[in-house]
Amino acid sequence: MADSGVRRRRVFVTGIGLVSPHGGDPDEVFERLYRGESAVRKVRSGTAELGGDALLAQAEFDPAGIIPKLQLVVTDRVSQMAVVAAHRALSASGLLTDNSGPADMGVYMGCGLGGSQALQDSYRVYFERRSRKLKPATVALIMANAPAGHISMRYKLKGPALTYSVACASSAIAIGEAFRAIRDGYLDRAVAGGTEAMLNDGSVSAWEVLGVLAKEHPDGPGASSRPFAKDRTGFVIGEGAAVLTLETESAVQARGGASIAEIVGYGGSSDAHNLTQPAADGQVRAMRIALADAGLAPEAVGYINAHATATPAGDRIEIDAIKEVFGDHARKLLVSATKSMHGHLVGAAGALEFAITALALRKGRVPPTANLTDPDPECDLDCVPRTGRECPDLAVALSNSFAFGGSNAVLVASRV
């Protein structure tokens, strides 16, 4: 059992598990992103009478062999992806033995909407069939904390199993809170990340009427997510899960494990401004808190994986916030938006982007902002347009996650 009296222990990422629009192998996913490959496609969404074409970034995965057939019946897609990603993370870190992980391990997951497909199916039964005969497992399928629960049960992880539902910052907060719990002595290990599966017609329609989704670009669906570009029109909804195994330095050393990156800081804030419109001062506060938590000066940072969703206001505000935090050093930063290729995974976005950031540190290479052919003059930092960048001296990086509701979360990682 962890000693709760210990403070400021070092925390390492020892495994990454993905179910993403670019695949499930972290190294392969990173290489595809580094090459600037887009996973955005035009997909027919909805019923025959109400359907329409939507730009989506879908994830393909097969839960067979990982989730028992009987368990699939009571597991929504959002939980299936989470369990598969957790399996891959535990396997990659060497912590999976006989389909079980360490009993004292915690589970910290982010999820924005929960089982949205099960929710939609239940409404269809009620309103279209005019029946109250829903599946007995409907509530269990819909719950936002079901992914964390399924991971805990599947791998016999008996530490805290917690869920954070904070829109687009959900999984970044989950990782940050797991980091704090381990650093401050409450746990020795955790799986942390996020999952989201909302590419059904009801959810997509809700995003459409909000007016934040991208329009198809003349160059095709893959060119439609355009962060920092003058002609950006909004974001593309994606789906997937990203789970990381986090461990103390002593736990890694005791079993002779290997580390991908070290988490050194975490900061959070609220804009206290507007439910859907971001504010630079809240983002500034979160980045400054994260750097102070890491004990680092702004000049130590070489790369930022930006939240940058490609909305007209959001990208500019984030650039303004970065300039305020980093001052003259902002001109030396590499700032890229991988949402240009994998879309916006909402509750899983922060975890996927932090995983990419950790891999960038390990590989000494930074993925690009795809489709950035004509930058917005107000987004005038080095946003790594179109082509990935070799950066062998990269030592410290940030991952920004800024949510509807004004919640901001920033993670700081360093190379090992």
- Active site members: 168, 307, 344
Read off the tokens for 199: 């590419």
Cα–Cα distance for residue pair 11/50, rounded to 1 Å: 49
Read off the tokens for 136: 């007995």
Contact 336, 367 (CB under 8 A): yes
For residue 17, give every residue at least 6 positions away whose Cβ sits within 8 Å of its Cβ, in sequence order, or none.
24, 26, 84, 85, 86, 87, 88, 89, 90, 91, 92, 193, 241, 242, 243, 244
Burial of 374-390, coded b for 16+ CB within 10 Å and e otherwise, reads: ebbeebebbbbbeebbe
- The span from the first CA to the last CA of the chain, in angstroms, equals 26
Read off the tokens for 218: 């003349």
Contact 101, 95 (CB under 8 A): yes
Show the CA angle centred on residue 365, arms to residues 56 and 8, nearest 5°. 95
